[in-house]
Structure 1
Amino acid sequence: MFLPGSALLVVSARKTLNRLQRTHGAPALLAVKEFPGVAAAVDQHAAAVRDILDLGVENSSQVPVSVLLAGYARGLLEDLRESGNPIPDAPEDWQSADWIHLRLAGVCALSRAT
């Protein structure tokens, strides 16, 4: 159960998601507007993340969505640091973005929707 005294978790989650919006969300959004294939990929990743959090996390309905998304994103960001894959720079680069960048863009899409 999410405790009322856990406001710091929410603040930390929002900071993580805001940073992620700058690195992945905003750049991917530009690509989504320009390339339908990127839009479809980001939508599919967002749906997969939503399903993972809804179905794969016990009592997820009792935890703020931002905390769930940030926790999931932190794991992905750790994997990204280990892999060293650079973030796609230009919108056209998102057409060949790897799985982890598209998944992080999907997290951003869910974050914007909540």
Structure 2
Amino acid sequence: MFLPGSALLVVSARKTLNRLQRTHGAPATLAANAFPGVAAAIDQHAAAVRDILDLGVENSSLVPASVLLAGYARGILEDLREAAPENPYTTEDWQHTDWLHLRLAAVCSLARPH
């Protein structure tokens, strides 16, 4: 259960998501606007992340979405460090990037207020 005194978790989660927005969210959004295939891939990854957090995390409705998303992203970032694939640097690079980067871009899309 998420306790009201856990505001530090929310602050930490927002910092993680803001950093991720700079490295993956904003560049992926530019690529998605330019390439429909990138947009579709990010949407598919976003649906998978949403299912994982909604169905795979017990009592997920009691935890702020930012905390869930940041926790999930931290796990992906660990995998990314171990696999060491190169970050997509250009808009065109997003067309050929691996699923780890697409998954992080999807986390960013879910974290953005709509």
TM-score by length of 1: 0.98
Distance 1:56 1:113 in 2: 23
Matched, 1:45 2:45: yes
Mapping for residues 23-42 of structure 1, pairs under 5 Å: 23-42=23-42
Q: CA deviation at 1:80?
A: 0.4
User: How far apart are 1:113 and its partner, in Å?
Assistant: 3.7
Percent identity over paired residues: 79
Which 5+ residue runs of structure 2 have no aligned equivalent? none
Q: Deviations for 1:3-54, whole angstroms, at most 9, x for unmatched residues?
A: 0000000000000000000000000000000000000000000010001000
Matches within 5 A, 1:1-114: 1-113=1-113
Aligned residue-pair number: 114
Q: Distance in 2 between matches of 1:34 and 1:65?
A: 28
Letter in 1 for 2:23: T
1:12 is paired with a residue whose SS is helix
Q: Distance in 1 between matches of 2:87 and 2:25?
A: 11
CA RMSD, 1 decimal: 0.8
Q: In 2, Cα distance between the equivalents of 1:91 and 1:113?
A: 23
